[in-house]
């Protein structure tokens, strides 16, 4: 219903294309609501949603909290959702390893909490823990087994949510930071981006770390978000795939600790550290913190081969006084906040449902749409396909392996460049396919990926965006 | 007469060609390479490459070019190329995939992930496609790649600063040198804006708009199941930053000899 360039009207504007914003967009896309998803950067999953351990928690927070409720409303649904949204997922289970008496003393409390959340859990001896996960070290004296924990590709989850939303008619706009919000009679009336003035009946604030700034622009209640930096190591698949379970450190009063987490592509993540700061864009790594992550990891899994580290990186997750904020704003009745500190992936399905209820309660008509899709096309992957030898007949471009470390073919990269929410940068290709993300970090394939982006996007190779708006050429 | 043993050599550079040629008389040898031409980093026109290629061909070595080896499982090799995606039955795999520059984590190079930080292999490839690699380029490491990258970006008009832990004489392809200094951190928001270098306790900041990683070579390995030592696999890879063709050939012949002995014993 565009009446003129730069002027549009929607029922809901969702601000932020992280895992929560995309999950909400996907959820609302199955209804009669007209939805616009706005993202300040050039892709989905540019904040905490790309920098996390890729765990779908079953138990994380104390029973009776909002956080545990939204996780409980999500964790059993991943097998089905990931199949429909072409997202790598495996429910491999976790072992929380206690190495000291103090840590072991904490496990019965964790067990009781997990059970109160309705989650399967049991306490096992150190030997039983090692039988379950042979890479757990000899110092483990007791373990808490959480069989319903899963691993997921969090970036592909955001891509899947956004893709489903787009297929169902949600308008997804990138490079669209919210620079102002107009109000009328105490209600949000329009959202302003550099390109457009967008009239809307409701705004959903899923801006994560920047959620406080959106609330302020909307004249809503005042709260503060700040960045919590975590540093990680990524270890090669050759070792990572020998790890069969997530290994959690036993939580201490002040921290959840450093974990050892297999990823859906076979690598292993070590981390994260925790450091609060006031720098929302600071993603530098430092040697002291990385050494700390290594040391804490070795307590749990002594054999982790640091000479097989592919990459060290820092990621920012949003922190706030309120761990999870899913509510209609106290001041502005058509502004709904949907912000979570660090369990965004694990709670995204539950949060999306809850936001839909809040919107309906606030007067939005959300009639289910019979013609809405509930899945997106699946792209077969050379690395993980059970019958790779059949792929060439499907598309000859499967025989052109562009990224040899991660076995990513030209067929997969082309699919990433042509989807409804396509890769718009080399990072976008990396998120959707893992090309350039392997042990050589693009030393072999980055030029080839650049040329494929160049062709698909009709721009010179030097103008292809690599990451965070920086280009291949200078 | 029993069937001859099957050997696959992955990599048709000077190392792979040498191994394949040396084994041709004692095994059924197939040589595969990702690129559609033999020669690797030296290129097909190099006299040493042409000589080894002729020797391999005369010995009956079969070539599958434009083909990528993907994974090695129980004496089977999954490959993808013009013949499709297929499993080859193989008695011995010789991996001769060459080398690559070390990545930031291997160099313990800290900082954010930003544009403009590229492996020399990528920088050369992009620059050959006339992508401008920047006006002030920092080049970390002294290597064959560093030399190629430096020459091409200087041709584009860039000023090149070479950083190397090597205390020796500076190379002739830089405009400025930090010999005996170690690259420790990257700075920048969208694109790299500076490299921090250290020597002992002192640190210096070198501004740059491109950072090319060209040193501390590692073996390039990307066949799953043959990343580290594995049954049935030999590696014909040397990883010095600068290496002579003679050294590579000598080492390759040693590997070929070892494989020949293994095949004779089995």
pLDDT digits (tens, 9 = 90+) for A121-144: 999 999 999 999 999 999 999 999
- Best B73, B85, B97, B107 residue to mutate vs chain A (most A CBs within 10 Å): B85
pLDDT at residue B1 is higher than 70: no
Per CATH, the number for B6-98+220-265 is 3.50.50.60
pLDDT digits (tens, 9 = 90+) for A56-65: 999 999 999 9
What is d(CA A248, CA A300) in angstroms, rounded to the nearest whole number? 8
pLDDT at residue B2 is higher than 60: no
Nearest to A226 by CA among A297, A140, A318, A303: A318
Taking a C-beta distance cutoff of 8 angstroms, is the pair A78, A89 a contact? Answer: yes
- Cross-chain CB nearest to A399 (options B84, B119, B129): B84
pLDDT at residue A6, rounded to an integer: 59
What is d(CA B143, CA B147) in angstroms, rounded to the nearest whole number? 6
What is d(CA A382, CA B84) in angstroms, rounded to the nearest whole number? 12
% of chain B surpassing 70 pLDDT: 99
pLDDT digits (tens, 9 = 90+) for A294-334: 999 999 999 999 999 999 999 999 999 999 999 999 999 99
pLDDT digits (tens, 9 = 90+) for A52-87: 999 999 999 999 999 999 999 999 999 999 999 999
- Judging contacts by C-beta atoms under 8 Å, the chain A residues touching residue B227 are 236, 238, 439
pLDDT at residue A1, rounded to an integer: 40
Q: Which helix (H) or strand (E) holds A359?
A: helix A344-361
Contacts of A188 (CB under 8 A, 6+ apart): A181, A182, A200, A202, A203, A218, A332, A334, A335
pLDDT digits (tens, 9 = 90+) for A253-293: 666 789 999 999 999 999 999 888 888 888 888 999 999 99
Taking a C-beta distance cutoff of 8 angstroms, is the pair B105, B20 a contact? Answer: no
DSSP reduced 3-state for A462: helix
CB spacing of A466 vs B115 below 8 angstroms:
yes
| A217: DSSP letter | H
> What Å distances lie between residue A402 and A374, A395, B64, CA to CA?
31, 15, 17
SS3 content of chain B, % helix, strand, coil (to 5): 25, 35, 40
Q: Which residue of A has its CA nearest to B127?
A: A473
What is d(CA B123, CA B98) in angstroms, rounded to the nearest whole number? 18
Dihedral over Cα of B91, B92, B97, B103: its sign: positive
pLDDT digits (tens, 9 = 90+) for B177-226: 999 999 999 999 889 999 999 999 999 999 999 999 999 999 999 999 99
- Judging contacts by C-beta atoms under 8 Å, the chain B residues touching residue A47 are none
- Per the document, the length of chain B is 266
Beta strands in A206-257 (DSSP E): 225-235, 246-249
What is d(CA B180, CA B170) in angstroms, rounded to the nearest whole number? 10
- Cross-chain CB nearest to A461 (options B86, B121, B129): B129
- Pick one of 3.20.20.370, 3.40.50.1860, 3.40.50.10320, 3.50.50.60 as the CATH number of A1-89+151-224+321-378: 3.50.50.60
Taking a C-beta distance cutoff of 8 angstroms, is the pair B134, B210 a contact? Answer: yes
What is d(CA B210, CA A276) in angstroms, rounded to the nearest whole number? 31
User: In the Cβ-directed half-sphere of A435, how many Cα atoms lie within 13 Å?
Assistant: 34
DSSP-H helix ranges across A181-231: 211-217
**DSSP string covering A158-187, please?**
HHHHHHHHHHTT-EEESS----EEEEETTE
**Domain locations in chain A as residue ranges:** 1-89+151-224+321-378, 94-147+227-317, 388-471
Nearest to A325 by CA among A252, A176, A222: A222
Q: What is the mean pLDDT of residues B124-142?
A: 95
- Cross-chain CB nearest to A285 (options B110, B114, B190): B110
- Cross-chain CB nearest to B189 (options A281, A446, A451): A281
Dihedral over Cα of A378, A383, A387, A389: its sign: positive
| A15: DSSP letter | E
**DSSP string covering A38-83, please?**
E-SSSSSS-STTTSS--EE-SS-S-TTSHHHHHHHTTGGGHHHHHH
The answer, yes or no, to whether the previous bond of A193 is cis (omega within 30 of 0) is no
| Helix orientation angle between A446-457 and B120-128, rounded to the nearest 10 degrees | 40
How many Cβ contacts (< 8 angstroms) between chains A and B? 157
CA angle B113, B115, B117 (to 5 degrees): 80
CB spacing of B126 vs A462 below 8 angstroms:
yes
pLDDT digits (tens, 9 = 90+) for B42-92: 999 999 999 999 999 999 999 999 999 999 999 999 999 999 999 999 999
CA A118 to chain centre: 24
Dmax over CA atoms of chain A, in Å, equals: 69
Calculate the CA dihedral of residues A2, A3, A6, A10 and round it to 10 degrees.
-50
- Per the document, the length of chain A is 474
pLDDT at residue A2, rounded to an integer: 39
User: pLDDT category, A12, cuts 50, 70, 90?
Assistant: very high
Nearest to A11 by CA among A352, A328, A356: A356
Dmax over CA atoms of chain B, in Å, equals: 70
To the nearest whole Å, the CA of A263 is away from the closest chain B CA by 16
User: pLDDT category, A7, cuts 50, 70, 90?
Assistant: low
What is d(CA B193, CA A474) in angstroms, rounded to the nearest whole number? 11
- Judging contacts by C-beta atoms under 8 Å, the chain A residues touching residue B191 are 470-471, 474
What is d(CA A107, CA A250) in angstroms, rounded to the nearest whole number? 8
Contacts of B163 (CB under 8 A, 6+ apart): B138, B139, B140, B141, B177, B178, B181, B182, B183, B195, B197, B206
pLDDT digits (tens, 9 = 90+) for A154-196: 999 999 999 999 999 999 999 999 999 999 999 999 999 999 9
Per CATH, the number for B104-213 is 3.50.50.60
- Cross-chain CB nearest to B84 (options A392, A446, A470): A392
Give the β-pairing of A246-249 and B28-33.
unpaired
pLDDT digits (tens, 9 = 90+) for B226-250: 999 999 999 999 878 788 899 999 9
CA angle A289, A292, A295 (to 5 degrees): 155
Taking a C-beta distance cutoff of 8 angstroms, is the pair A238, B224 a contact? Answer: yes
User: pLDDT category, A10, cuts 50, 70, 90?
Assistant: very high
Q: Which helix (H) or strand (E) holds B248?
A: helix B245-265
What is d(CA A368, CA A48) in angstroms, rounded to the nearest whole number? 31
**Domain locations in chain B as residue ranges:** 6-98+220-265, 104-213
Nearest to A228 by CA among A312, A311, A289: A289
What is d(CA A325, CA A452) in angstroms, rounded to the nearest whole number? 41
| B115: DSSP letter | B
What is d(CA A251, CA A199) in angstroms, rounded to the nearest whole number? 46
Taking a C-beta distance cutoff of 8 angstroms, is the pair B52, B19 a contact? Answer: no
**pLDDT mean across residues, chain B:** 94
Q: What is the mean pLDDT of residues A193-212?
A: 97
> What Å distances lie between residue A210 and A69, A190, A317, A319, B172, CA to CA?
24, 19, 11, 10, 50
Residue B81's CB: how many other CB atoms inside 10 A?
A: 21
Q: Which helix (H) or strand (E) holds A10?
A: strand A7-15
In terms of average pLDDT, the best of A336-340, A467-471, B142-146 is: A336-340
CA A86 to chain centre: 14
pLDDT at residue A456 is higher than 60: yes
What is d(CA A293, CA A313) in angstroms, rounded to the nearest whole number? 12
- Best A447, A450, A461 residue to mutate vs chain B (most B CBs within 10 Å): A447
Burial of A405 (0-12, 13-18, 19+ CB in 10 A): buried
- Pick one of 3.30.9.10, 3.40.50.1820, 3.40.50.620, 3.90.1150.10 as the CATH number of A94-147+227-317: 3.30.9.10
What is d(CA A439, CA A442) in angstroms, rounded to the nearest whole number? 8
């Amino acid at each position: 219903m565009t009446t003129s360039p730069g002027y549009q009207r929607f029922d809901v504007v969702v601000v932020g294309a992280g895992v929560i914003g995309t999950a909400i967009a996907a959820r609302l896309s199955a209804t009669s609501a007209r939805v616009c998803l706005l993202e300040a950067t050039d892709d989905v999953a540019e904040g905490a949603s790309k920098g996390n351990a890729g765990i779908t928690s079953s138990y994380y927070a104390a029973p009776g909290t909002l956080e545990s409720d939204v996780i409980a409303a999500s964790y059993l649904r991943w097998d089905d959702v990931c199949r429909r949204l072409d997202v790598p997922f495996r429910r491999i289970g976790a072992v929380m390893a206690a190495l000291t008496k103090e840590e072991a003393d904490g496990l019965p409390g964790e067990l009781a909490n997990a059970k109160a959340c309705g989650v399967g859990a049991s306490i096992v001896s150190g030997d039983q823990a090692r039988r379950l996960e042979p890479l757990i070290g000899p110092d483990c004296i007791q373990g808490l087994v959480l069989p319903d924990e899963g691993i997921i590709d969090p970036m592909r989850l955001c891509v899947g949510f956004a893709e489903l939303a787009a297929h169902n008619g949600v308008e997804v706009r990138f490079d669209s930071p919210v620079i102002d919000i107009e109000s009328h009679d105490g209600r949000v009336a329009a959202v302003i981006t550099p390109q457009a003035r967008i009239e809307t009946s409701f705004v959903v604030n899923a801006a994560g770390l920047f959620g406080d700034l959106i609330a302020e622009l909307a004249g809503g209640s005042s709260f503060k978000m700040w960045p919590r930096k975590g540093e990680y190591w990524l270890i090669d698949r050759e070792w990572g795939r020998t790890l069969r379970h997530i290994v959690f450190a036993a939580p201490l009063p002040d921290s959840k600790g450093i974990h050892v987490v297999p990823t859906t592509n076979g690598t292993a993540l070590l981390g994260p550290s925790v450091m609060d700061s006031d720098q929302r864009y600071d993603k530098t790594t430092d040697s002291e913190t990385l050494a700390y992550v290594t040391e804490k990891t070795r307590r749990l899994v002594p054999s982790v081969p640091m000479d097989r580290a592919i990459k060290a990186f820092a990621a920012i997750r949003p922190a706030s006084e309120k761990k999870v904020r899913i509510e209609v704003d106290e001041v502005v009745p058509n502004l709904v906040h949907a912000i979570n500190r660090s369990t965004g992936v694990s709670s995204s399905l539950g949060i999306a449902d809850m936001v839909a209820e809040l919107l309906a309660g606030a007067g939005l008509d959300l009639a289910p749409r019979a013609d809405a899709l509930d899945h997106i096309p699946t792209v077969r992957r050379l690395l993980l396909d059970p019958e790779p030898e059949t792929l060439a007949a499907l598309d000859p471009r499967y025989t052109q392996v562009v990224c040899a470390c991660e076995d990513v073919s030209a067929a997969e990269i082309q699919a990433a460049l042509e989807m409804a929410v396509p890769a718009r940068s080399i990072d976008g290709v990396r998120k959707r396919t893992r090309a350039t993300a392997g042990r050589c970090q693009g030393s072999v394939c980055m030029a080839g990926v650049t040329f494929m982006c160049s062709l698909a996007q009709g721009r010179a190779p030097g103008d292809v965006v690599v990451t965070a708006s920086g280009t291949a050429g200078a | 007469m029993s069937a001859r043993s099957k050997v696959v050599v992955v990599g048709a550079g000077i190392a792979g060609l040498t191994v394949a040629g040396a084994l041709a008389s004692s095994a059924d040898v197939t040589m595969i390479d990702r690129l559609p031409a033999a020669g690797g980093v030296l290129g097909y026109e190099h006299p040493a490459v042409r000589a080894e290629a002729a020797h391999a061909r005369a010995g009956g070595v079969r070539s599958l070019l434009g083909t990528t080896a993907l994974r090695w499982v129980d004496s089977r090799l999954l490959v993808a190329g013009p013949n499709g995606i297929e499993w080859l039955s193989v008695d011995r795999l010789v991996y001769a995939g060459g080398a690559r520059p070390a990545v930031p984590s291997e160099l313990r190079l800290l900082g954010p992930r930003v544009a403009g930080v590229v492996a020399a292999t990528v920088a050369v490839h992009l620059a050959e496609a006339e992508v401008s690699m920047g006006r002030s380029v920092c080049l970390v490491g002294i290597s064959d790649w560093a030399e190629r990258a430096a020459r091409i970006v200087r041709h584009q008009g860039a000023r090149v600063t070479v950083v190397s832990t090597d205390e020796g004489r500076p190379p002739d392809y830089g405009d400025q040198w930090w010999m005996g200094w170690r690259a420790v951190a990257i700075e920048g928001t969208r694109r790299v804006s500076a490299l921090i270098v250290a020597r002992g306790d002192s640190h210096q900041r070198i501004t740059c708009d491109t950072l090319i990683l060209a040193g501390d070579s590692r073996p390039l390995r990307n066949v799953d199941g043959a990343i580290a030592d594995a049954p049935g696999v030999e590696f014909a890879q040397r990883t010095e930053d600068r290496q002579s063709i003679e050294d590579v050939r000598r080492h390759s012949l040693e590997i070929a000899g070892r494989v020949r002995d293994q095949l004779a014993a089995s």
